[in-house]
Each structure stands twice: as C-alpha cells, then as structure tokens.
C-alpha cells in the first residue's frame, strides 16, 4: 500500500484491522492450543481424567461470565487473525489488484466481524437476555 495515494478510508481502516490481527495473534498463541487440547484431544486420547467437553460439564462451566468472555475473546481473536493472514496468502498466490483486494476485504472482514458478533451474541444470551 502507498500511504501517499491511499484513500482516506484505507488509512483509517487498515490500522484497525491490523491491530485486531496483532491482538488476535497474541490471543491465539496463548489461549488456542490449550483450548483445542481440552476440547478435541484430552478425552479421545485418554490424556485427561474426565471429558472437559462433555455436555453436562461444559454446560456447567458455560454459566460463568468469565468462561463466556473467554470464548468471545478467543473466537473473535482467532477470526480477525486468521482472516487477515488468509487475505495476504491469497494476494501472494496472485489474487491481486484493487478489485480483488476489495472483494477479499469484504468477504474476510465480513466473516471476522459477523463471526465475532455471533460469539458475542451467544456469550450474552442466557446471561444478560
């Protein structure tokens, strides 16, 4: 991107999405591996005393606001981080040009924004409304 020829909205939005990507990198690096281990691998590979993902166990934890906040932050962070990476991987692969970039921004940022809003909805549902 050339700062001298970029449209004002690009100058405004790019730092916002880059910041969310960067924060998402910290969130996914620190929180996602342990989460995936507990949900996907702990019980099937008999690496844990119980099943942390079992319905009754998880539902009991899900009542706590901290757990809901954790899932919202983790899902939002993962989405903003991963979609930003995917955009640049696709651009590297030849999906270039202003129109292609605008399309990628629309789809990928849309996934990140609506996915995060979805996570926020489920985090608040049954707690605040």
Partner 1 sequence: MTVHEYPARRRRGWWLRNPRYLAFQLREAGGVVCALYGLILLNMLIQLRDGESAYAAFLNLLRTPPVLYLNVVLFALVLWHALTWFMLIGKAQPIQFTRQPLPWKVVFGINVLLWIGVSGAVVYLIFGGM
The beta strand positions in the chain, using DSSP E, are: none
Three-class SS state of 95:
coil
Q: Which two tokens stand for residue 57?
A: 């166990």
Q: Which two tokens stand for residue 18?
A: 């880059």
If one asks whether residue 113 binds partner 1 (CB under 8 A), the answer comes out as no
Of 8-16, 77-85, 99-107, the window that binds partner 1 (rule: CB under 8 A) is 77-85
Distance (Å, rounded) from C-alpha 78 to C-alpha 30? 11
- Closest CB to partner 1 among residues 17, 79: 79
Q: Can you give the binding site for partner 1, defined by CB under 8 A? A: 2, 4-5, 24-26, 28-41, 43-44, 48-49, 52-55, 57-62, 66-67, 70-71, 74-79, 81-86, 88-89, 96, 111-112, 115, 118-119, 122-123, 125
């Amino acid at each position: 991107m050339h700062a001298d020829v970029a449209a004002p909205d690009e100058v405004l939005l790019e730092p916002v999405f880059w910041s969310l990507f960067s924060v998402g990198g910290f969130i996914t690096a620190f929180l996602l591996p342990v989460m995936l281990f507990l949900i996907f691998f702990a019980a099937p590979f008999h690496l844990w005393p119980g099943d942390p993902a079992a319905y009754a166990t998880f539902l009991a934890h899900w009542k706590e606001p901290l757990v809901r906040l954790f899932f919202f932050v983790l899902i939002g962070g993962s989405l903003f981080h991963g979609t930003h990476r995917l955009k640049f991987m696709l651009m590297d692969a030849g999906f270039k040009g202003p129109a292609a970039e605008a399309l990628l921004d629309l789809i990928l940022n849309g996934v990140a924004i609506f996915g995060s809003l979805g996570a926020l909805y489920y985090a608040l549902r049954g707690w605040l409304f």
